[in-house]
Structure 1
Amino acid sequence: MSSFAPYPADGALSRRGKLGWALILVSFVLILILSAVPSPYVIEQPGPVYDTLGSNEAVGGGEPRPLIDIPDARTYDSTGELNLLTVSVVGNPENLPHWLDVATAWFTPSKAVVPVESVYPPNVSTEDRNQENRILMVNSQRDAVAAALTELGYEVPRTLSVESVIDGSPATGVLEEGDSITTVGGDPVVDLAHLRERIAANGASAPLEFGLLRQGTAMTLSVTPEERNGTPAIGVLIATEYTFPFDVEIELDDVGGPSAGMMFALGIMEKLTPEQLTGGEVIAGTGTIDAQGTVGPIGGIRQKLFGAERAGADFFLAPSANCDEVVGNVPDGLEVFAVATLDDALAALGAIAADSGYSGLPRCTAPSQN
């Protein structure tokens, strides 16, 4: 006698079918909800990539316009690329990403999900934020020119001036637009980084003395910093004014912040150097820079690594201070070197150009386990 499994009763089939359709319906409703309900996050992803030796347009399109132009000095062509990276932010306080977008970004290696307040602080207006980013970009370009020309042996005198005073800040009614800051706490101001360090060291509980020139008149005034996003600040936007031996024009539209400083400096040096610093290679990188050539950390390093890989870069210069974020997030085929100064970056370019091996160059490595 043959055996067989009996068919389930019609009622069981009906119940199972109804349960399956119910689950599908619930899933569909959840997807609709996730697609419609805004989250308290924004999404960071790789942004446009620009070759500092090439055009103002992003890599891959647009009419060529020199990103760096030095009309009054002899310049040299390069067959390589020195790419600066950007990060695009999806969403803002008025138009937040939906939960489904956030969930998708969470599992995408090239993207990051961050609280909206970390990008758009609630106590800072969009206008103030955009203005601050514009000034940071302008300052980073000036610092890059100063660092590059200083490295090449030029003398570059500098002054710090108040670009604007934020309404309601500690500096309101004390400092004025156009003031040139000469001393802080009784000591000569070296550069913008030095000024920030002195304000941070002073803290938010005691007045800090500033020496300045206002329309040619020397004076001394005091401002008590206040905490802003965890850092003592006086509420002014500072521009660094340099006296350069010749004009260096940098034209980059719709990009803010200081993170392109190191790549600007390298691009300027490549244009002013007869030998190709790049050796014809495609090299990307990021990092702030000051007039002394110190390379500082930036945000969005993971997105920039993927942006570099997508733009066809073979090498990446990363600030040493960002190494903890670099480890474990390097796309396949991308060689990453850690740099803390402009000299470190030039040493990396020298090894890349000579194709002499990279064993002696600093790398980002995981911290040792104790």
Structure 2
Amino acid sequence: MSLFTDDDPLLPPGPRPERVAPPKRVIVGWSLVAVAVVATLVLALVPAPYVIEQPGPVYNTLGTDEQVGGASDGEAKQLITIPGQKTYPTKGSLDLLTVSVVGNPDSRPSWLEIAAAWFDPSRAVLPVDVVFPPGTTTEQSNAENAALMVNSQQDAIAAALNKLGYEFPEAVAVKQLIKGSPAATVLKVDDEIVTVNGEPVPGVATLRRLITENGTDKAAKLGIVRGGVASTVEVKPIKTAGQTVVGIGAGMDYTFPFDVKIQLNNVGGPSAGQMFALGIMDKLTPGFLNGGERVAGTGTIDNEGNVGAIGGIRQKMFGAKGAGATIFLAPASNCDEVTGHIPGGLDVFAVKTLDDSIKVLDAVSSGGSTSDLARCPAS
């Protein structure tokens, strides 16, 4: 007996209906759905050659090493301590900002995460090779950033103590010699550079300026101290990458009059320098440097008080806004990245030096006018 015959008793007698294929538009529609499902799976699973920068933890340099708004584990330590010295009560905050990076060469975000970040003004999408240069491991990058943080803390201490009038030994020293450079056969690592063409060199920024002013047409006369013996040597600068250089990596050596301890783990890079310096000054002077207000900022600093550009400033502005700050101290050299991206309610001042930042804080603490102070344009 056949299970299926043309004589199906459930159908009425007569001609049988023909099977009709689905309309073409239905086939196309379902095909597009299938493609979309596959594309979504690809976006969700396939790693992209990018990483994401987003606002990271915020720390109050006047408070503890616990991030602002984070839960305390009961072991919080003062971020800045100055043992053996008279310190004064503080109020409000001088917040330093950080940037968190989502992804690394070993674990990259998916295309779906990248797509979401593109539409979020508080986040930035960058090629992975920009953040992690080829040949550099994640561990090496972290170690380099840790070293930059240590150096920035030393420079911040020097900037604060210099501004407060303390005197202590500080010297510009040769930390690295570039092979084949003009200085390679003349200078040695650990040489102190005291003068350039007879002008004193109190810091690395001044050294760079004097070398640039000397130019490449003649040798610069460098007054150095090597092993405690002073002498004068000549080095003819060259042009490289648009800059006038002699081919050294210079750094600072300090002998501070007292200890300043900074407790901040798992944060790297040099961008907290300015806020460390302001926090140290506030603790060593009576009154409230910030008027008791919540102030945030960023920027590298050197012992001469020069504030330099940093990365991730847009993410840091959003971090400051999220922490409740209304005043933001930004390096003037970052204003091109700031303009048009300032979160609502955040007043961004453009500062070139520690003196500029103190002028802003003086106006904030006294309730005075800030109309004559430099700002990064809102738009």
Aligned position for 2:62 = 53
1:240 maps to a residue whose letter is M
For residues 148 and 173 of structure 1, do their structure 2 counterparts lie closer, same or farther at Cα, with a shift above 3 Å needed?
A: same
Deviations 1:257-310 (A, max 9, x none): 221111111101111111111222111001112222222211111000001111
Deviations 1:59-78 (A, max 9, x none): 22333211111112111111
State whether residues 79 and 280 of structure 1, in contact with CA within 8 Å, keep that contact through their aligned partners in structure 2.
yes
Deviation for aligned residue 1:218: 5.9
State whether residues 307 and 353 of structure 2, in contact with CA within 8 Å, keep that contact through their aligned partners in structure 1.
yes
For residues 194 and 125 of structure 1, do their structure 2 counterparts lie closer, same or farther at Cα, with a shift above 3 Å needed?
A: farther
Deviations 1:160-209 (A, max 9, x none): 3455679x786889876655444568865431223445677899999988
What's the secondary structure of 1:312's corresponding residue? coil
Aligned position for 1:35 = 44
Corresponding residue to 2:330 among 312, 318, 321: 318
After TM superposition, the structure 1 = structure 2 runs for residues 188-227 of structure 1, keeping only pairs within 5 Å, are 189-197=201-209, 213=225, 215-216=227-228
What's the secondary structure of 1:349's corresponding residue? helix
1:142 maps to a residue whose letter is Q
After TM superposition, the structure 1 = structure 2 runs for residues 238-257 of structure 1, keeping only pairs within 5 Å, are 238-257=250-269
For residues 213 and 359 of structure 1, do their structure 2 counterparts lie closer, same or farther at Cα, with a shift above 3 Å needed?
A: closer
Work out the percentage of aligned pairs sharing the same amino acid. 54
For residues 61 and 326 of structure 1, do their structure 2 counterparts lie closer, same or farther at Cα, with a shift above 3 Å needed?
A: same
User: What CA distance in whole angstroms lies between the structure 2 residues aligned with 1:185 and 1:87?
Assistant: 41
1:70 maps to a residue whose letter is I
Deviations 1:15-59 (A, max 9, x none): 444332221210111122223333332211111111000112222
* Greater CA drift, 48-57 or 143-152: 143-152
For residues 239 and 25 of structure 1, do their structure 2 counterparts lie closer, same or farther at Cα, with a shift above 3 Å needed?
A: same
Tell whether 2:122 aligns with 1:110.
yes
For residues 184 and 254 of structure 1, do their structure 2 counterparts lie closer, same or farther at Cα, with a shift above 3 Å needed?
A: farther
Deviations 1:70-129 (A, max 9, x none): 112111111211000011122222333232222211111011112223222336565654
Gaps of 5+ in 2: 1-18
State whether residues 54 and 64 of structure 1, in contact with CA within 8 Å, keep that contact through their aligned partners in structure 2.
no
For residues 235 and 304 of structure 1, do their structure 2 counterparts lie closer, same or farther at Cα, with a shift above 3 Å needed?
A: farther
User: What CA distance in whole angstroms lies between the structure 2 residues aligned with 1:202 and 1:119?
Assistant: 35
State whether residues 135 and 239 of structure 1, in contact with CA within 8 Å, keep that contact through their aligned partners in structure 2.
no
User: What CA distance in whole angstroms lies between the structure 1 residues aligned with 2:39 and 2:244?
Assistant: 45
User: What CA distance in whole angstroms lies between the structure 1 residues aligned with 2:215 and 2:31?
Assistant: 60
What's the secondary structure of 1:83's corresponding residue? strand
User: What CA distance in whole angstroms lies between the structure 1 residues aligned with 2:22 and 2:217?
Assistant: 74
State whether residues 68 and 268 of structure 1, in contact with CA within 8 Å, keep that contact through their aligned partners in structure 2.
yes
Deviations 1:308-365 (A, max 9, x none): 1111212111111211211221112222222222122112112222233432322211
For residues 104 and 217 of structure 1, do their structure 2 counterparts lie closer, same or farther at Cα, with a shift above 3 Å needed?
A: same
For residues 183 and 152 of structure 1, do their structure 2 counterparts lie closer, same or farther at Cα, with a shift above 3 Å needed?
A: closer
Corresponding residue to 1:148 among 160, 181, 184: 160
State whether residues 173 and 251 of structure 2, in contact with CA within 8 Å, keep that contact through their aligned partners in structure 1.
yes
User: What CA distance in whole angstroms lies between the structure 2 residues aligned with 1:45 and 1:201?
Assistant: 40
Deviation for aligned residue 1:135: 3.1
State whether residues 332 and 351 of structure 2, in contact with CA within 8 Å, keep that contact through their aligned partners in structure 1.
yes
Aligned CA-pair RMSD: 3.5
Aligned position for 1:26 = 35
Gaps of 5+ in 1: 1-9
Deviations 1:223-267 (A, max 9, x none): 988968x87878876542223222211122122222111111110
State whether residues 175 and 190 of structure 2, in contact with CA within 8 Å, keep that contact through their aligned partners in structure 1.
yes
Using the size of structure 2 for normalisation, the TM-score is 0.80
Corresponding residue to 1:290 among 291, 302, 309: 302
User: What CA distance in whole angstroms lies between the structure 2 residues aligned with 1:330 and 1:364?
Assistant: 9
User: What CA distance in whole angstroms lies between the structure 2 residues aligned with 1:112 and 1:342?
Assistant: 29
Higher radius of gyration, 1 or 2? 2
State whether residues 172 and 194 of structure 2, in contact with CA within 8 Å, keep that contact through their aligned partners in structure 1.
yes
* Greater CA drift, 105-114 or 157-166: 157-166
Aligned position for 2:287 = 275
For residues 274 and 249 of structure 1, do their structure 2 counterparts lie closer, same or farther at Cα, with a shift above 3 Å needed?
A: same
* Greater CA drift, 172-181 or 18-27: 172-181
Alignment length (residue pairs): 357
User: What CA distance in whole angstroms lies between the structure 2 residues aligned with 1:312 and 1:199?
Assistant: 43
For residues 47 and 203 of structure 1, do their structure 2 counterparts lie closer, same or farther at Cα, with a shift above 3 Å needed?
A: farther
After TM superposition, the structure 1 = structure 2 runs for residues 83-122 of structure 1, keeping only pairs within 5 Å, are 83-122=95-134
State whether residues 201 and 207 of structure 2, in contact with CA within 8 Å, keep that contact through their aligned partners in structure 1.
yes
For residues 243 and 76 of structure 1, do their structure 2 counterparts lie closer, same or farther at Cα, with a shift above 3 Å needed?
A: same
Deviation for aligned residue 1:154: 1.8
Aligned position for 2:6 = none
For residues 210 and 131 of structure 1, do their structure 2 counterparts lie closer, same or farther at Cα, with a shift above 3 Å needed?
A: farther
For residues 120 and 206 of structure 1, do their structure 2 counterparts lie closer, same or farther at Cα, with a shift above 3 Å needed?
A: farther
User: What CA distance in whole angstroms lies between the structure 1 residues aligned with 2:228 and 2:283?
Assistant: 37
* Greater CA drift, 239-248 or 78-87: 239-248
User: What CA distance in whole angstroms lies between the structure 2 residues aligned with 1:314 and 1:342?
Assistant: 19
For residues 41 and 77 of structure 1, do their structure 2 counterparts lie closer, same or farther at Cα, with a shift above 3 Å needed?
A: same
